């Protein structure tokens, strides 16, 4: 009798236990990457064309909404931060040199937008930057709608998820309608690209393109390596199933090449407490509404307001973990954990600390809260979808969905449009800057213009010089 046979009845050996654990682990991972549903009937050419037109219109409408969200001076009349001070001058000085590094890494999408801005009459460069940033945000919202099909069964709730990207309450503070901060929307789309298992080649291609541009536009795309590794374990090894992984990997290779070639690092480790403070005050507190968070501050103070907002979210998400099915629980844990890790890294390595100015019109570092807040929204929407799948049309499901819409709607309505005070600089009134450049070049057509910009991640200032002949009138 062999050794494996010398077991008491019903007793599994170490190998069997390991196999069970492995199956359990793979099943857990499989819940993160649900298989695509049954393919729909093949659409005719006319129906496919109509569907494309509808989606183009949706992206355009979303971009118009984004452009209207900043109160005061129209967003297309100004250019923000690095866009006029760095990306545009470099695009004018070195056309189509898209692989230049800044702060030690590559920002491909912002540089593409800047290059387009350099090709139009210079007075309209501000329109290109604003529209480019708005289109990226709207496009990421549409992509989120499609890519969340495995986690959210209801099309209406998926539309709500896509809408959450466009209506993010803190967007106006830093990331809306500019090129430099379009990368934060791309990171949201990258999260969903990592989870999506598209049924069609066009969907796989879209996931690959989004993953590539996200990874090639910010070094933070590397943070998703564990998620793509989990995908490699859980998802069948077919090319279409791993199109997003291939796009992400290619973008990461390009990103790492630029990082290593730049010989510069922007990482400035701060006290670990910064990560806790950032997540509490800049993620949890404004997660359900920027102006709502200030009303809570007035009532309970900063600490009390944070406890109220964070406690509400903790109770809701804990209820989901207790009552929902395993796929919903796994997603909620992943979404919250990803947001925690992301905010923690930004809080320790990039955020300037609790001493930064924060008012109702200014929050330096608000961009770092984009992904964590939208993942909290996603967790709430997935939870509501779980209730709907189990109980619809019973009253409890209707109440859950109505409560979700009410909670998210408070922030979306009150924060839809408000004025902000962004960084001042050469782009704060773009027409004045553009006219000054044109007058200079009219006096000296063969001359040059030098634009300086603060080196936020180093010493001194950055200077870029371009020829007057590169300006389009």
Q: How far apart are CA 90 and CA 33, in angstroms?
A: 41
pLDDT of res. 240: 80
Residue 202 lies in a domain: yes
Dump pLDDT digits (tens) for 294-332: 999 999 999 999 999 999 999 999 988 888 888 889 999
Residue 40 lies in a domain: no
Dump pLDDT digits (tens) for 128-170: 999 999 999 999 999 999 999 999 988 999 999 999 999 999 9
pLDDT of res. 390: 73
pLDDT of res. 427: 59
Distance, CA of 310 to chain centre: 22
Residue 154 lies in a domain: yes
Residue 469 lies in a domain: no
- DSSP letters for 26-84: HHHHHHHSPPP-PPPPPPPHHHHHHHHHHHHHHHHHHHHHHHHSB-SS-GGG---THII
Supply φ then ψ for residue 450, to 5 degrees.
-115, 125
Residue 363 lies in a domain: yes
List of residues 6+ apart from 62 with CB closer than 8 A: 134, 137, 138, 139, 141, 142, 166
Supply φ then ψ for residue 253, to 5 degrees.
-60, -45
Q: How far apart are CA 73 and CA 119, in angstroms?
A: 24
Full residue range of the structural domain in which residue 196 is found: 53-414
3-class SS shares of the chain: helix, strand, coil, % to 5: 65, 5, 30
pLDDT of res. 4: 37
Q: How far apart are CA 218 and CA 368, in angstroms?
A: 12
Q: What is the DSSP letter of 418?
A: B
**Is the peptide bond prior to 393 cis by the omega test (within 30 degrees of 0)?**
yes
pLDDT of res. 403: 87
Q: What is the pTM of this model?
A: 0.91
* Parallel, antiparallel or unpaired: strands 362-363 and 105-106: unpaired
Widest CA span in the chain: 100
Distance, CA of 201 to chain centre: 24
Q: How far apart are CA 303 and CA 334, in angstroms?
A: 27
- Ranges of residues in the chain whose predicted pLDDT is under 50: 1-21
Alpha helix (H) ranges present in 223-325? 225-234, 243-262, 273-278, 290-323
Q: Kindly list the distances between the CA atom of residue 30 and the CA atoms of 35, 204, 305, in Å, as whole numbers in the listed order.
A: 8, 19, 38
Q: How far apart are CA 367 and CA 176, in angstroms?
A: 10
* Parallel, antiparallel or unpaired: strands 461-467 and 448-454: antiparallel
Residue 141 lies in a domain: yes
Number of domains the chain contains: 1
Q: Which of 372, 370, 377, 310 is nearest to 339 (CA)?
A: 372
Residue 130 lies in a domain: yes
Residue 245 lies in a domain: yes
Whether the CB-CB separation of 379 and 334 falls below 8 Å is answered with: no
List of residues 6+ apart from 176 with CB closer than 8 A: 66, 69, 70, 75, 133, 134, 137
SS (HEC) of 85-117 = HHHHHHHHHCCCCCCCEECCEECHHHHHHHHHH
Q: How far apart are CA 256 and CA 216, in angstroms?
A: 9
């Amino acid at each position: 009798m062999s050794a494996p046979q010398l077991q008491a009845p019903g007793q599994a050996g170490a190998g069997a236990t390991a196999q069970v654990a492995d199956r359990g682990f793979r099943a857990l991972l499989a819940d993160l990457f649900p298989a695509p549903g049954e393919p729909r009937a093949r659409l005719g050419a006319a129906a496919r064309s109509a569907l494309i037109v509808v989606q183009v219109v949706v992206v355009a409408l979303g971009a118009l909404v984004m452009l209207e969200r900043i109160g005061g001076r129209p967003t297309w009349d100004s250019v923000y931060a690095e866009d006029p001070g760095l990306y545009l001058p470099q695009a004018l000085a070195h056309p189509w040199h898209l692989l230049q590094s800044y702060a030690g890494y590559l920002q491909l999408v912002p540089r593409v937008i800047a290059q387009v801005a350099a090709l139009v009459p210079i007075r309209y460069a501000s329109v290109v930057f604003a529209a480019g940033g708005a289109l990226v945000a709207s496009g990421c919202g549409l992509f989120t709608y499609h890519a969340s099909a495995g986690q959210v069964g209801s099309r209406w709730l998926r539309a709500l998820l896509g809408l959450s990207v466009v209506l993010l309450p803190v967007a106006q503070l830093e990331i809306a309608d500019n090129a430099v901060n379009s990368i934060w929307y791309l990171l949201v789309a990258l999260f969903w690209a990592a989870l999506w298992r598209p049924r069609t080649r066009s969907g796989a291609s879209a996931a690959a393109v989004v993953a590539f541009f996200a990874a090639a536009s910010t070094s933070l795309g590397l943070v998703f390596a564990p998620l793509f590794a989990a995908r490699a374990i859980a998802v069948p090894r077919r090319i279409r199933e791993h199109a997003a992984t291939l796009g992400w990997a290619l973008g990461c290779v390009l990103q790492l090449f630029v990082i290593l070639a730049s010989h510069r690092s922007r990482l400035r480790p701060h006290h670990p407490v910064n990560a806790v403070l950032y997540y509490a005050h800049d993620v949890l507190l404004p997660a359900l509404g920027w102006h709502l968070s200030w009303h809570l501050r007035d009532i309970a103070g900063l600490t009390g307001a944070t406890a109220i907002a964070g406690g509400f979210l903790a109770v809701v998400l804990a209820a989901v973990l207790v009552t929902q099915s395993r796929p919903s629980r796994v997603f909620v844990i992943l979404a919250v954990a990803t947001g925690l890790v992301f905010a923690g890294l930004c809080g320790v390595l990039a955020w300037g600390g609790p001493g930064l100015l924060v008012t109702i019109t200014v929050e330096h570092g608000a961009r770092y809260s984009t992904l964590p807040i939208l993942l909290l929204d996603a967790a709430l929407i997935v939870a509501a979808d779980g209730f709907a799948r189990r109980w619809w049309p019973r009253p409890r499901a209707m109440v859950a969905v109505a409560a979700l819409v009410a909670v998210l709607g408070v922030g979306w309505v009150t924060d839809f449009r408000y004025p902000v005070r962004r960084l001042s600089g050469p782009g704060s009134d773009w027409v004045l800057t553009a006219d000054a450049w044109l007058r200079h070049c009219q006096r000296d057509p063969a001359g040059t213009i030098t634009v300086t910009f603060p080196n936020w991640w180093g010493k001194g200032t950055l200077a870029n010089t371009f020829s007057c002949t590169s300006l389009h009138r």
